[in-house]
Amino acid sequence: MPFAGSIKSAALIAILSFSASVSAAALGEMPAAQQNAMVAKYCAVCHDDAHRNGGISLQHFDAAHADPGVAAMLLSKLTSGLSPQDVEKSRHDPAAAAGILEKMNTGAIQASGSAAPDRPTQEALARSLATEAAGAEKWYLVRTPDQVFSASAVRMAASVKNPGITDMYRLTLTCDSGTHQSEMRLAWASAVPEKGRSFYAAADTSEPVTYTLTETEKMGFGEGTSGPGSIVLVAGSVPLQTLQIGNVFPEETVVFSFTDLPAKARQELDPCFGTDPAARKVTF
């Protein structure tokens, strides 16, 4: 009997998997396994464990359990600045669909060193990432097996300099519960700010602090360098209300709200970043 039950369970799983594949195909999307192969070929060459360009590794990307913020940033880089909403329009708008390929022809796929896939494949990848990016602006919480906790969220802003482009910003706070080491990292897409550009960060009511982008990133496939894709912010504590970022791209400002950061996340992060109210003023 247990054997028969196993067969039924396996059959049910197969039916559900087939149904999911059919649904994805009907939406013009790409199965998770194919997405993973695409990301490995075209993205992880520069964003691997050894070359964490943009402050992220895609070497272990799993579309079946995608971080919405990572999916949104990937989509932005691959489409030269399209938002998930832009890509969603392409399902029913032929002009928008044509725009996806046009944007991808100048996107990050071209920097991989591999020949770009055909148009249907590129469109399917973009649509899949747009679906997975749903909720990217909400805090996304992760705890790894080695007890590293992170909270991340994305903000989007219409580009002032390049109409029709949506710039994205991803803020990630990380705490190692074993060592109490912490990091607050800001990453951006789709463009890369020029080296030497200055921007500011202001936490709560603190005075803004200026950062200057001086670093470059080496391409993972060994050909050339790029401007910085992220920077570590010096944080004495987790902001209580907001973190404002301005001028990474000309005349753009985005605000990360911390009032909606889950209490669980703050409890996980505070031991690394500090809980002294006085320390909260010594930020950024």
Q: What is the 3-state secondary structure (H, E, C) of 265-283?
A: HHHHHHHHHCCCCCHHHCC
Packing angle, helices 32-42 and 119-132, rounded to 10: 110
Quickly tell me which residue has 């059959």 as its tokens.
11
**pLDDT attached to residue 22:** 38
Please list the residues that pair with 211 across neighbouring strands. Answer: 199
The 10s digit of each residue's pLDDT in 64-111 is: 999 999 999 999 999 999 999 999 988 888 887 787 878 887 778 877
**pLDDT attached to residue 29:** 87
The 10s digit of each residue's pLDDT in 125-183 is: 999 999 999 999 999 999 999 899 999 999 999 999 899 899 999 999 999 989 989 99
Q: Kindly state the percentage of the chain with pLDDT values over 70.
A: 85
